[in-house]
Amino acid sequence: MDANRFPPGSARRRVAGAGVAAGVAAAMLLAAPLAWARPPLRDAPVAWEAADRGDIPQPEPRAPSLVRDGFEESVVRPGGRFFNPVRLARHIGGIFGTEIAHSAPDINDLDEALNSTWFTNRIGLYPLSPEQVARGPITADGPDRSERWRITRAKTQGVTPGFNVKDARGDTYVIKFDHPCCPGGPSAAGVITGRLLHAAGYNVPEDFVVTFRREEVGVGDGVTFTDRRGVKRPMTDADLDSLLAGVTAEPDGSYRAIASRYLSGKPVGPFDWKGRRRDDPFDRVKHENRRELRGLRMICAWLGHFDMKQHNTLDMWVEDGSRRYVKHYLIDFASTLGMGAAGPFPMANMEYGFDLSAMVGRLFSLGVHEDEWRRLERPPGLAEVGYFDVEHFQPMEWKPLQPNAAFANLTERDGYWAAKIVSAFTDAQLEAAVAEGKFRDPEASRYIARMLAARRDKLARYWFDRVAPLDFFSWQRGTLRFHDLGAERGIYRGTVTRYRVRTAACDADRGVAAWTDWSEASEPRFDLGGAALSPPGEGASPSDRPFLAVEASVNRGGGWQGPIRAYISRAHGTIVAVDR
């Protein structure tokens, strides 16, 4: 599984019963232009950076209501999407192959996400060692232990207790404990998921599994504490002892927790899954249309990251030289890998918190139909592992606790992009990331690593069956090469694979002259000769049609998949665009 993963270089949702001719016509008129529009080809270097790091004043912190956010994401916005006439037309247009949403605008001509304040291309495009994946965003080795940690703030409310500490270096960490139901599980899941999300390209905090003794922590000056009666008063050592009494201690008397280092900059609240920050002029792309947020749906499905409310995101106003701008983070990953901050529960990842369709289904089934989540079982003997398997994992059936607009806009190209990232993780990299979770039981580590690998392959197979995984095209001296990620990454073991290509001269608007005949081969390599950049045919001169269009397809025994089209500059022999 580890060899040859790195190259050198939508599910469409449909509405049943759409037989009205007028509805079909509306779908075609409203949906098709958005679905197939592509920018003109340019004989220029491909862009990789988004211009979103301009200097801005500090934005006002957002403080959305948790209750209101839940109601809007679960009820108001889904209702708005359902009754939106353009979206309904695109639903109907799905019968004819139209996506439910238009293409993400924050991508380059190779259909890749741009590096931005939201996302940095890492494992999907570049090789990482297992050690680099395990290291993730870490710049220091956790809280300094040369002196006692000083508590600067205590948390007595919520699912589990915790507090903030400042170490001898002056760094502040949030200390959160595991739920008594499953010591070790949430903290391990949180650290592992953070490492994997960072390798995938997202901004995440530096999280560590730590253990400490009571004498290594003291109460700082001026720290207040809200007791069980709701009275706010100065915190004492006795209050710390009472807080730790509710934490399950390790066999040696120490305490295990997850330590999350404060992010650099000033927090300005979570980001919304819909719209833009009005006080950030460089936040130009609506969040629901961002490739990295749409594709995150599949990455979260792989990781079982169901608690994706906006309160588990955080915008930071950061300083970078003379510029100050907003950087967007994902935070708090305890509710992943089958776990939850309050312990594992089988319905997570299978239903929304408010899932009207599931509730209506149960009402009318009269108990005949059994919900899929009721069949889930935790692996026997592994107390640190929750409901995390591959048998019941269906990528497009996965659901977070709350739906959101970005996930709802996932297209096939977004799904393929996410699958390319997920499938790039090797077994060795997954094992290295899982080791950072510091499970007590080595079998728990082995189980989680196996499930991550199996779910990786299942998710990749789902999307690679729908979008041919032919990628990383190159042209050199008349030879066309590309990579079959499905074959290289072991997704289609035991299949006999054939490839075919054809070429045509092409103008900037993607208009082609006559196609050549198909050429077939058993490897994704075709010697087309130097004349290929100037193929014969009417209107084929470089001035009229300055690009060469190449269509490539793969057959694994079940017929030829829909082709992927790459465009080559006839003047320079460089790949300028890829269409899927």
Q: Cα–Cα distance between 91 and 86 in angstroms, integer?
A: 9
pLDDT band at 14 (very low <50, low <70, confident <90, very high): very low
Q: Cα–Cα distance between 399 and 308 in angstroms, integer?
A: 10
Q: Cα–Cα distance between 240 and 248 in angstroms, integer?
A: 14
What's the predicted TM-score (pTM) here? Answer: 0.90
Is residue 494 packed enough to be buried (19+ CB in 10 Å), middle (13-18) or exposed (0-12)?
exposed
Cβ within 8 Å of residue 200, ≥6 positions away? 122, 123, 124, 299, 421, 422
Q: What mean pLDDT is predicted for residues 283-293?
A: 97
Q: How many CB atoms lie within 10 A of CB 337?
A: 27
pLDDT band at 225 (very low <50, low <70, confident <90, very high): confident
Mean pLDDT of the chain: 88
User: Is it the case that residue 13 has pLDDT exceeding 60?
Assistant: no
- By percentage, how much of the chain surpasses pLDDT 70? 88
Residue 5's pLDDT is what? 44
User: Is it the case that residue 170 has pLDDT exceeding 70?
Assistant: yes
User: Is it the case that residue 442 has pLDDT exceeding 60?
Assistant: yes
Q: 3-class secondary structure for 286-320?
A: CHHHCHHHHHHHHHHHHHCCCCCCHHHEEEEEEEE
pLDDT band at 363 (very low <50, low <70, confident <90, very high): confident
User: Is it the case that residue 25 has pLDDT exceeding 70?
Assistant: no
Domain 470-579 indexed as CATH 2.60.40:
yes
Question: Could you report how far apart the first and last alpha carbons of the chain are, in Å?
Answer: 26
Kindly report, as residue ranges, where domains of CATH 2.60.40 are found in the chain.
470-579
Q: Render pLDDT for 103-162 as a digit per residue (tens, 0 to 9).
A: 999 999 999 999 999 999 999 999 999 999 999 999 988 999 999 999 999 876 656 778
User: Is it the case that residue 341 has pLDDT exceeding 70?
Assistant: yes
Pairing of the two strands 149-155 and 217-219: parallel
Residue 365's pLDDT is what? 72
User: Is it the case that residue 20 has pLDDT exceeding 80?
Assistant: no
Q: Render pLDDT for 378-411 as a digit per residue (tens, 0 to 9).
A: 999 999 999 999 999 999 999 999 999 999 999 9
Q: Render pLDDT for 521-576 as a digit per residue (tens, 0 to 9).
A: 999 999 988 666 765 444 445 568 999 999 999 999 999 999 999 999 999 999 99
Q: Render pLDDT for 417-432 as a digit per residue (tens, 0 to 9).
A: 999 999 999 999 999 9
Residue 499's pLDDT is what? 98
pLDDT band at 96 (very low <50, low <70, confident <90, very high): low
Closest listed residue to residue 524, CA positions, set 553, 564, 559: 553
